């Protein structure tokens, strides 16, 4: 369960990072991205462990709320599945069509989200 939550938060963070404050971004990056403990982050920033915990929990709520309202991650995942199915269909039925393969490969999902 904890791994699933970490993966989910990292995915949400990749999309909505610019909407968080710089401090929220730093704490989330350290906690979820770099696997720092609350104590390590608190020590680095000379604040209490509780302050870090509260900030991260608040950031999680914000990220989940953005996704609930905007659904960017959900739509991104749907598009990835659709393109995968399209690629498979094209390979099965139009295997020799190099232009079609080029067009499908040109769909760049990384540009659809903030890195």
Distances (CA, A) of 3 to 35, 45, 104, 109: 11, 26, 32, 23
Quick one: pLDDT at residue 114? 45
Within the chain, how many helices (H) and strands (E) appear? 6, 0
What is the model's pLDDT at position 107? 87
For the chain, give the mean pLDDT.
Answer: 92
Percent of the chain whose pLDDT exceeds 70: 93
Per-residue model confidence as pLDDT tens digits over 8-58: 999 999 999 999 999 999 999 999 999 999 999 999 999 999 999 999 999
Residue 29: DSSP 8-state:
I
Global pTM value: 0.81
Q: Look up tokens 């989910």; give the residue.
A: 8
64, 57 in Cβ contact below 8 A? Answer: no
Degrees to nearest 5, angle at CA 80 with 85 and 87? 30
Highest mean pLDDT among 27-31, 76-80, 99-103, 111-115: 27-31
């Amino acid at each position: 369960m904890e791994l699933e939550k970490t993966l989910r938060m990292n995915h949400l963070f990749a999309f909505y990072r610019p909407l968080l404050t710089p401090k929220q971004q730093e704490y989330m990056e350290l906690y979820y991205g770099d696997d720092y403990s609350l104590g390590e982050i608190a020590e680095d920033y000379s604040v209490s462990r509780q302050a870090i915990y509260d900030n991260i929990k608040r950031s999680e709520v914000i990220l989940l709320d953005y996704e609930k309202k905007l659904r960017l991650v959900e739509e991104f995942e749907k598009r990835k599945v659709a393109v995968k199915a399209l690629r498979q269909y094209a390979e099965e039925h139009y295997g020799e069509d190099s232009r079609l393969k080029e067009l499908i490969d040109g769909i760049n999902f990384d540009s659809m989200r903030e890195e």
